[in-house]
Structure 1
Amino acid sequence: MKYIRKFSSPESFEDWKRRHPGADWHEFSLPHNAPVKDDLADSLRREQGRICCYCEKRLSRRRSHIEHIKPRSVFPDSTLKYSNLAASCNGGPTRQNACCGHKKGAWYSPRFVSPYDRSCEHRFLVTAAGEIAPRNPKDISAAETIRRLGLNTPDLCAMRRTVYDVLIELKSTLPPERFQEHIEQSLLPDGNGLFEPFWSTIEYVGTMLTLDGLEIPDELPAPRKTKKRKRRW
């Protein structure tokens, strides 16, 4: 998960709020407010380098939505706070590939690892199979976040695996200095402010391949089987 550095809120959005004190999301989403809402959505996509706030897929206008980090049904006072808004992808086309904002829904927990938390970039690892896992096996918050956001859908794992395979091939063909330079360049926004999709995969796998003696896990460990305790009567 990539840490998101917030921009200033769009003036059109702040002006609308000043002119509509006490308004809610339903009122903001009415058709005649579409230009302001579009401006807001575009600002969120731009500040994220046009990658999803959770899975880091490439975002487009049609395949993304405005996400409330703290759901508006639970935190109504944060509904129109720019600091609580992000741009999420719409997930996959099937239930099996549901993820990110639509998967999360109205769930929230103080243990949720948010892309606005500076530590988020160091809480997850990527396996050679393209799966996401907590870097610290005891990090319950990271594990719950992965599950609630559906970050290990078949589609997402396949796309991260492709990124992994490309990096492995580059590692085998480029001199070490060139490979490290490529990784560093890939983590920067391009001339249009776009970040590479699956930024965190590039950062984690690239770092692991650059440093000697570090191995990328092939896949997630199988879940432990818990022994059933005998009842004492």
Structure 2
Amino acid sequence: MKYIKKSEEPESFTVWKNLANEDWQPSWDNFSKPQKTDVHDSLLQEQGFICCYCGRRITKDISHIEHLKPRYPYTELVLEYTNMLASCQRERERKEPLHCGSKKDHWYNEDLMVSPINANCEEFFKYTDDGQILATDNSKKLAAETTIDKLGLNIDKLKDLRAKALEPILEIINTITEGERQDLIIGFSETDYKGYYEEFCDAIIYLLKN
């Protein structure tokens, strides 16, 4: 899981919400273009175009606006930008198992959910060479294990994709110098010139560090 530093909400979204009056109130039901598009674009940009939960590459077409704390029962947070993320699996392929925001659905538990907007969230997960994501041994182990389960982060599809992303690093990990290793860690920790993180960069960085 990659830490997401939330940015300011789009100005158009703020202006739209401030239009509230006695006859009209902004709600999820009337939240639409262009404000909804602006919010979706902003979420993708602040996440470096990777899923908030699994780290897959996402675009607007294959992602949806996810609520960290679900719309029900947290109705007061439905239009709160700090509660919004961009998750993959907008539409499920035939027979594809649910994962990430689609699997999480209305589940949320303050004590058992590791949130990607928590600055230290990356500390609670580790990755294996074959693409598994596991909980590290610390005070958040149960929360990390529950999060992995509730988001379906270890389904075969995601394990296979992670393993494929790790292959190039595994091929060179024992041949590079310490300086080259540090340069790679820095490189994968930053977005490219287009604002994109490398797909599954969190798993790649973990492998390079460990």
Give TM-score, length-normalised by structure 1.
Answer: 0.83
Give the distance between the partners of 2:3 and 2:73, measured in 1 at CA: 24
Q: CA deviation at 1:173?
A: 3.8
Instruction: Tell which structure's C-alpha radius of gyration is larger.
Output: 1
Structure 1 or 2: larger helix share?
Answer: 1
**Structure 2 residue identity aligned to 1:24:** S
> Mean Cα displacement is larger for which, 190-199 or 172-181?
172-181
Deviation track 1:70-114 (CA, whole Å, cap 9, x = no partner) reads: 001110000000110011111752555321111100001012111
Give the distance between the partners of 1:23 and 1:90, measured in 2 at CA: 27
Structure 1 residues not aligned, in runs of 5+: 209-233
Structure 2 residues not aligned, in runs of 5+: none
Give the distance between the partners of 1:178 and 1:163, measured in 2 at CA: 19
CA contact (8 A) 1:97 1:154 kept: no
SS of the equivalent of 1:193 reads coil
CA contact (8 A) 1:96 1:153 kept: no
**Structure 1 residue identity aligned to 2:160:** A
**Structure 2 residue identity aligned to 1:17:** K
Give the distance between the partners of 1:96 and 1:60, measured in 2 at CA: 19
- The correspondence of residues 116-127 of structure 1 with structure 2, limited to 5 A, is 116-127=117-128
Match of 1:144 among 143, 146, 158: 146
SS of the equivalent of 1:107 reads coil
- The correspondence of residues 87-102 of structure 1 with structure 2, limited to 5 A, is 87-90=86-89, 93-102=93-102
Percent of counterpart pairs with the same letter? 37
Q: Does 1:37 align with 2:39?
A: no
Give TM-score, length-normalised by structure 2.
Answer: 0.91
Q: Does 1:194 align with 2:196?
A: yes
Q: CA deviation at 1:53?
A: 0.4
CA contact (8 A) 1:187 1:202 kept: no
Q: CA deviation at 1:27?
A: 1.6
Give the distance between the partners of 1:47 and 1:81, measured in 2 at CA: 16
Give the distance between the partners of 1:205 and 1:73, measured in 2 at CA: 38
